[in-house]
Amino acid sequence: MKKIERARLILKILNKIYPDTPIPLNHKNVYELLISVLLSAQCTDKRVNQVTPLLFNKADNPYQMKDLSVDEIYKIIRPCGLAPKKSRAIKDLSLILSDKFMGKVPETFEDLEKLPGVGHKTASVVMSQGFGHPAFPVDTHIHRLAQRWGLTNGKNVMQTEKDLKKIFPKEFWNKLHLQIIFYGREYCPARSCYGLTCKICKSCYPSRKTAVKTKKS
């Protein structure tokens, strides 16, 4: 089966299982989404959604957040992990949004990626889920699945993102990255499928006998 044929098959399966793709991080505005995505690094969405109501009750916009101390932020977000670094980033980016962007989250990759604590993946999520611009956020989970499904040979998320964008039409990107995440959690987790047992893995590679090891740089 050629790569483009696998891509079409995967789309068909994912659209059938996940016709709707609700955003897993609870938020009321783009600023809250930005903070939630920042907090989700090395943390589950469930844990983030438990923490953010407490944080956003104190500050749900940059002007209020910049007036909180780093320690106040830290005490709330500590369960998310990497809290010292994230606390400082939230404080600093809120100051920048207040001073340079009139309290608004910028709508470009260039400006987003200049904010403290905001990398390309976080910016991609905000552009996609917050503003509706075509983007394909790729984390380590999507990277792993793309390798299992024979969609990339990339050793890092940057190369995998480029490969997936070449295979799938732009109009599918925003929904597809969520579909892949949902599917991976439910059917193709890191420590059980190994590219051998779930429907997509078996459909793409019915004769595969050896577990797939994720290539990392």
Distance, CA of 139 to CA of 177 (rounded, Å): 10
Q: Which structure tokens are listed for 169?
A: 């039409």
Distance, CA of 2 to CA of 194 (rounded, Å): 21
Q: Which structure tokens are listed for 133?
A: 């611009």
Among 121, 124, 72, 115, which Cα is nearest to 94's? 115
Catalytic entry in 60, 66, 86, 139:
139
**Which residue has tokens 């699945």?**
145
Catalytic entry in 86, 91, 121, 163:
121
Give the number of C-alpha atoms closer than 13 A to the C-alpha of residue 55, restricted to the C-beta side. Answer: 36
CA of residue 30 relative to chain centroid, distance:
15
- What single-letter amino acid sits at 160? T
The verdict on whether 111 is a catalytic residue reads no
Task: Cite the beta strand spans of 25-96 per DSSP E.
Answer: none
Q: Which structure tokens are listed for 27?
A: 């938020």
Helices 140-148 and 157-167, packing angle to 10 deg? 60
Helices 45-58 and 70-77, packing angle to 10 deg? 140
The verdict on whether 121 is a catalytic residue reads yes
Which residues are marked as active site?
121, 139
